[in-house]
Amino acid sequence: MAQISKLQPYLFLAPSFAILLMFLIFPVSWNIYIALHDVSLTTLLKDWEYVGPENFVTIFKDPNFYTSLKVTLMFVGGSVALQFGVGMLMAIVLNQRIRGSAVYRAILIIPWTISAVIAAFSFKFILDDNFGILNYILNQMGIESVGWLSDPNIVVWSLVIANVWYGTPFTLLFLTAGLLSINPSLYEAARIDGASKMRSLFHITLPLLKPFMIINLILITMWSVNLFDI
């Protein structure tokens, strides 16, 4: 009986470990396996030849790999920094006693409720080099058209802006939930002790919001890396 009691926690964890094995460990192991073999459309149905690290050597010798890595880091870094910064700022501001804050919050969440494909087409319509609304407005102001989607030095930041517009509402919603979980009596006690709003922000809000901030950063980083719609 004592032996069964010792095994009981592991029995409860077994289903979770099985799901983890199926959806995480196996795919990762399988990808490592095929990365060490010669797998292509021509060899897909044949016996795969073991090539060891040759595939990785080929990638690291390809200059296009470093260009792609640079662009990816710029896109992910810019998207995560702006989504997190703007989303946190909006969450803190709308958490104050502002008339209509619930309405503003509902309006700001709208971009996150639409499809990423629709967001991509909307920004393509806005940023198109020849027929875009933004270049039309610039031309009306006497400013030459900008290659928002054709200039290699600008296009990645155009995509960052589109992704920030689409993804920031999630940060707003997530951090707002974190702010609402903080006990208001803590702010009241700090106010009685003479603490300013800035001191309350740095000594109460941010420390208690830290778990939400970490999870939010992990999620938006993961989603930005895997974003193909925009």
pTM attached to this predicted model = 0.76
The span from the CA of 108 to the CA of 101, in Å, is 10
What is the separation of C-alpha 81 from the centre of its chain, rounded to a whole number of angstroms?
A: 9
HSE of 230, CA atoms in CB hemisphere, 13 A:
30
The band of 81, judged by pLDDT with boundaries at 50, 70 and 90, is very high
Residue 4 has pLDDT above 80, yes or no: no
Tell me what the mean pLDDT of segment 188-210 comes to: 81
Place of tokens 């890396």: 225
Task: Report the 10 Å Cβ neighbour count for 220.
Answer: 24
The band of 82, judged by pLDDT with boundaries at 50, 70 and 90, is very high
Angle between helices 155-180 and 206-225 (to 10 degrees): 140
Least reliable range by pLDDT among 21-25, 29-33, 89-93, 146-150: 21-25
The band of 128, judged by pLDDT with boundaries at 50, 70 and 90, is confident
The span from the CA of 79 to the CA of 205, in Å, is 24
What is the separation of C-alpha 29 from the centre of its chain, rounded to a whole number of angstroms?
A: 25
Stretch (H or E) spanning 37: strand 37-38
For the chain, what percent of residues have pLDDT higher than 90? 9
User: Would you state the pLDDT for residue 85?
Assistant: 92
The band of 121, judged by pLDDT with boundaries at 50, 70 and 90, is confident
Residues 6+ away with beta carbon under 8 Å from 55: 35, 36, 38
- Please state the domain extents for the chain: 1-61, 63-225
Tell me what the mean pLDDT of segment 191-203 comes to: 80
What string of DSSP letters covers 83-125? Answer: HHHHHHHHHHHHTSS-TTHHHHHHHHHHHHHS-HHHHHHHHHH
Tell me what the mean pLDDT of segment 170-177 comes to: 89
Classify the C-alpha dihedral 32-37-40-44 as positive or negative: negative
Phi, psi (degrees; rounded to nearest 5) at 181:
-85, -10
For the chain, what percent of residues have pLDDT higher than 70? 96
What is the separation of C-alpha 154 from the centre of its chain, rounded to a whole number of angstroms?
A: 21
The band of 53, judged by pLDDT with boundaries at 50, 70 and 90, is confident
Name the CA radius of gyration of the chain, rounded.
25
Tell me what the mean pLDDT of segment 12-28 comes to: 79
Residue 229 has what DSSP assignment? -
The band of 229, judged by pLDDT with boundaries at 50, 70 and 90, is low
Tell me what the mean pLDDT of segment 216-227 comes to: 87
The span from the CA of 171 to the CA of 87, in Å, is 5
The band of 3, judged by pLDDT with boundaries at 50, 70 and 90, is low
User: Would you state the pLDDT for residue 94?
Assistant: 84
Could you please state the CATH topology (level 3) that the domain comprising 63-225 is classified under: MetI-like fold (1.10.3720)
Residues 6+ away with beta carbon under 8 Å from 197: none
User: Would you state the pLDDT for residue 24?
Assistant: 78
Residue 183 has what DSSP assignment? -
